[in-house]
Amino acid sequence: MNETDWVVIETTTKEFSPTQLHHKETIFTLSNGYLGTRGTFEEDYPGSCPATLINGVYDDAPLVETELANCPDWLPLVIMIGGDRFRLDRGEVLSYQRWLNLHRGTLSRSVRWRSPAGHTLDLHFERFVSLADQHVLALRCQIISIDFAGSVEVHASIHGYPDTNGWLHWDWLDQSGTDDSIWLHVRSRHSKLELGTSARLTVQGAEDARSSTMGFQGCQPW
């Protein structure tokens, strides 16, 4: 069997269609048996349903009594291109493809995007959920300019208050960080399970990394 036989490709038309957004998020979920993350976009999209679920991490919920608690989201990336935020519902998507390599356990996405200001860039995303260390998740974003010369800002974060159909499961306990690392400590509201999440940002191939920052979304101030 060739490795290409293990690859699930979202589209061969080179066009992104938002009509099956939630369906594709489910198909492109990555999991290692201990935790799993839905295939939502790192940069966000209107109506998306991001979720990271961990085996055994339950909390009370209306109607169903208990459910797997949607854990802090480790995916968010805000990418600013000359002042314009990269998102597929903004600017113009010139080409698009996403694929899941079931053999390697990697989810990849390539986008050629023209910003509202007319700047063209290629963006390539790749993520995996480690099988060797079940607590490790990683993503990589490569940004290649086609005709743009200017500043690129990348803001990585942990979203500390993810919801499940509007229902929140976590109370904030503590958080801190350094220039390139952050961590968050939360506790489930009813089952009282404590969870620690940390992240680190590494920048390569950039002359000036000062525009890359880390922070928290939806958490109490430091």
pLDDT tens-digit map of 80-99: 999 999 999 999 999 999 99
Dist. CA 98–CA 66, nearest whole Å: 34
Please determine, for residue 210, whether its predicted confidence score (pLDDT) is greater than 60: no
Please determine, for residue 9, whether its predicted confidence score (pLDDT) is greater than 70: yes
CATH architecture under which domain 3-217 falls: Distorted Sandwich (2.70)
Question: Domain boundaries in the chain?
Answer: 3-217
pLDDT averaged over the chain? 91
pLDDT in tens, 114-153: 999 999 999 999 999 999 999 999 999 999 999 999 989 9
pLDDT in tens, 28-57: 999 999 999 999 999 999 999 999 999 999
pTM: 0.90
Q: What is the pLDDT of residue 208?
A: 57
What's the rounded mean pLDDT across residues 99-124? 96
Q: Is 63 exposed, middle or buried (0-12, 13-18, 19+ CB in 10 A)?
A: exposed
Q: What percent of the chain has pLDDT over 70?
A: 93
Q: What is the pLDDT of residue 179?
A: 81
Q: Which residues neighbour 4 within 8 Å (Cβ) at sequence distance 6 or greater?
A: none
